[in-house]
């Protein structure tokens, strides 16, 4: 019997929305401020998954860190794929400016329609297609008034596809004192089942359920505290388990897709540097009709058996590595992401120097507009990322190099820069909140340079060399644990990326050429 090894989507892949159409399974995951938006994944057996691309080419310049595209909802009705998503444009204190949209397509690969605006009532909206042919959206209603609970209930509103609009009338179908979000509605037999994310998306996260005989309720809360959670098991390898969706297999079994995090430890504290990842669990309905994990309990399983004996092969759990030679006509967006918007061809040029990527320098790491940086997800706590670049900065306003990136307030950069005293040199520059620290300059040989970052749990170590020389360790062990959801006071929802960037703070057209990038990661189970 084949075995799912969780997480099935490793690294930053949160808020999974799962769907089966025929023999094909699809998962859409949140991308927040990263471009392209809404990552799409495919499987035919629930065990082996492939990232097939993204659904949306959006310009998100100006959105805050951890804003952008939240919690996509993937469904299929009337012969079309439906994708609902929220764009969070402001998240300051009690204020959230949120726009909700729907796009449809005849195929998961598009072309996707022009978006339909679904209003700005809240976020985490999903579609429910009832058996009578009506279409509904269920989501969080946000209350900005400081003396009121921000999560003011889960609301249901009808969508009229022929008119490409909602009715404008929403009914509150469920609320409770704690945080409830990420709702998904299912009609199974005579019951409407409401799956709910509860407890926030941190260590207290979980999934609960409610049900009703009637679409508009009232909904009865599951007598069990949680269908799934690890809030009571701080040593469990899959923490923050929650925010889930159901899918039914062709043979009638049910599977729950949910997010979870694999933390690393620093001085006894947990830090989810890899972000929130996607997992699968087998579930069933008990004798009283409530959803439960197969095998009992409410803790996520790392290994899950699916299908019939001899029904396929296990998912691989070994070392993963790749090398990017930049010899294709375009960057592969299944591997590379950018911040908030695509990099146009004058900024990321694969033709100017064949076999190299030419990056034209952009804004500083603090910008929400035009940074020049390509990024790839860190998927394991043991990862090496290496680049070979040709950079000749000529002023203190020009710099390039290898970066470990979380957001504008959290990054560690092995930077190739210049100043009149030291000429071209390397140094480690680190941002933690509003503070920036720079190491002493490090002498580097002339010509192209190899730069390497080695992630080992909470620690990050750099090295540098000439194109053909021996590696020279960069002094210091750097705090990768600060590049996590769990460091600092702001809400943070993404994950650790490695990448290469170029800054030209005077906007004079300075460029850096990158010949090669490679990544090698080793899961803990394979170490």
Helix, strand, coil share (%) of the chain residues, nearest 5:
0, 50, 45
Q: How far apart are CA 464 and CA 432, in angstroms?
A: 23
Helix, strand or coil for residue 135?
Answer: strand
The answer to whether the CB of 277 falls within 8 A of the CB of 11 is: yes
Q: How far apart are CA 469 and CA 451, in angstroms?
A: 11
Tell me how long the chain is: 527
Rounded to two decimals, the pTM is: 0.97
Residues 6+ away with beta carbon under 8 Å from 439: 427, 428, 429, 474, 475, 476
Domains of the chain, CATH where assigned: 3-305 (2.115.10.20), 320-526 (2.60.120.200)
pLDDT at res. 177? 87
181 is catalytic: yes
Q: Take residue 55 and report the two structure tokens written for it.
A: 């659904």
Residue of 15, 324, 485, 504 with catalytic role: 15
Distances (CA, A) of 451 to 331, 378, 504: 21, 17, 20
Burial of 133 (0-12, 13-18, 19+ CB in 10 A): exposed
pLDDT at res. 6? 97
Burial of 63 (0-12, 13-18, 19+ CB in 10 A): buried
The answer to whether the CB of 498 falls within 8 A of the CB of 385 is: yes
Residues 6+ away with beta carbon under 8 Å from 268: none
Q: How far apart are CA 424 and CA 80, in angstroms?
A: 56
pLDDT at res. 310? 55
Helix, strand or coil for residue 525?
Answer: helix
Q: How far apart are CA 310 and CA 45, in angstroms?
A: 12
pLDDT at res. 526? 41
Q: Take residue 24 and report the two structure tokens written for it.
A: 């094909």
DSSP-derived secondary structure letter, 526: G
Q: How far apart are CA 483 and CA 496, in angstroms?
A: 6
147 is catalytic: no
pLDDT at res. 311? 55
> How do 151-160 and 511-521 pair as beta strands?
unpaired
Burial of 434 (0-12, 13-18, 19+ CB in 10 A): exposed
pLDDT at res. 315? 61
Instruction: Quote the radius of gyration of the chain (alpha carbons, Å).
Output: 23
CA distance between the termini of the chain? 25
What is the widest separation between alpha-carbon atoms in the chain?
77
Residue owning tokens 């949910």? 258
Q: Take residue 46 and report the two structure tokens written for it.
A: 């629930």
Residue of 65, 124, 157, 181 with catalytic role: 181
Tens digit of pLDDT at every position of the chain (527 positions)? 589 999 999 999 999 999 999 999 999 999 999 999 999 999 999 999 999 999 999 999 999 999 999 999 999 999 999 999 999 999 988 889 999 999 999 999 999 999 999 999 999 999 999 999 999 999 999 999 999 888 889 999 999 999 999 998 999 999 998 889 999 999 999 999 999 999 999 999 999 999 999 999 999 999 999 999 999 999 999 999 999 999 999 999 999 999 999 999 999 999 999 999 999 999 999 999 999 999 999 999 999 998 655 556 666 557 899 999 999 999 999 999 999 999 999 999 999 999 999 999 999 999 999 999 999 999 999 999 999 999 999 999 999 999 999 999 999 999 999 999 999 999 999 999 999 999 999 999 999 999 999 999 999 999 999 999 999 999 999 999 999 999 998 889 999 999 999 999 999 999 999 999 999 999 975 43
Q: Quickly count helices (H) and strands (E) in the chain.
A: 0, 43
CB crowding 291-319: b at 16 or more within 10 Å, else e: bbbbeeebbbbbebbbbeeeebeebeeee
């Amino acid at each position: 019997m084949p075995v799912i090894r969780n997480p099935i989507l490793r690294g930053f892949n949160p808020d999974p929305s799962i769907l089966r159409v025929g023999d094909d399974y699809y998962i859409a995951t949140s991308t927040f401020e990263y471009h392209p938006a809404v990552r799409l994944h495919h499987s035919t057996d629930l065990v082996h998954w492939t990232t097939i691309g993204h659904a949306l080419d959006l310009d998100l310049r100006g959105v805050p860190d951890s804003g952008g595209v939240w919690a996509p909802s993937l469904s299929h009705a009337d012969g079309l794929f439906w994708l609902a998503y929220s764009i969070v444009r402001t998240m300051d204190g009690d204020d959230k400016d949120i726009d909700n949209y729907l796009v449809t397509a005849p195929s998961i690969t598009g072309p996707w329609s022009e978006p339909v605006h679904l209003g700005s009532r809240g976020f985490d909206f999903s579609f429910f297609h009832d058996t009578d042919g009506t279409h509904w959206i269920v989501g969080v209603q946000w209350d900005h008034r400081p003396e009121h609970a921000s999560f003011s209930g889960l609301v249901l509103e009808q969508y009229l596809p022929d008119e490409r609009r909602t009715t404008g009338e929403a009914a509150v179908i469920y609320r409770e004192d704690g945080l409830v979000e990420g709702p998904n509605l299912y009609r199974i037999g005579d019951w409407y089942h409401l799956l709910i994310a509860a407890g926030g998306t941190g260590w207290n996260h979980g999934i609960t359920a409610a049900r009703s005989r009637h679409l508009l309720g009232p909904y009865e809360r599951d007598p069990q505290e949680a269908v799934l959670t690890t809030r009571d098991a701080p040593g469990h390898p899959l923490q923050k388990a929650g925010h889930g969706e159901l899918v039914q297999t062709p043979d009638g079994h049910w599977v729950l897709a949910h997010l979870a995090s694999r933390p690393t430890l620093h001085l006894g504290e947990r830090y989810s540097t890899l972000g929130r990842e996607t997992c699968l669990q087998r579930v069933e309905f008990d004798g009283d009709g409530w959803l439960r994990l197969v095998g009992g309990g409410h803790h996520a399983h790392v290994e899950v058996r699916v299908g019939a004996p001899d029904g396929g092969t296990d998912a691989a759990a070994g070392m993963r590595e790749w090398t990017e030679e930049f010899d294709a006509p375009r960057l592969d967006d299944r591997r590379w992401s950018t911040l908030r918007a695509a990099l146009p061809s004058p900024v990321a040029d694969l033709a100017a120097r064949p076999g190299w990527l030419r990056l034209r320098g952009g804004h500083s790491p603090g910008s929400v507009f035009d940074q020049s940086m390509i990024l790839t997800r860190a998927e394991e706590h043991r990862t090496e990322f290496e680049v070979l670049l040709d950079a000749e900065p000529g002023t203190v306003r020009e710099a390039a190099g290898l970066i470990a990136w979380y957001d504008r307030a959290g990054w560690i950069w092995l930077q190739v820069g210049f100043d009149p005293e030291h000429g071209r040199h390397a140094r480690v520059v680190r941002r933690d909140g509003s503070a920036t620290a720079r190491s002493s300059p490090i002498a580097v040989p002339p010509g192209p340079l190899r730069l390497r970052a080695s992630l080992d749990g909470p620690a990050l170590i750099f090295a540098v060399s000439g194109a053909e020389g021996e590696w020279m360790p960069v002094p210091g062990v750097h705090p990768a644990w600060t590049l996590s959801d769990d460091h600092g006071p702001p809400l943070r929802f993404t994950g650790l990326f490695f990448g290469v960037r170029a800054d030209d703070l005077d906007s004079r057209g300075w460029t850096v050429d990158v010949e090669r990038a490679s990544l090698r990661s080793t899961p803990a189970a394979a170490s």
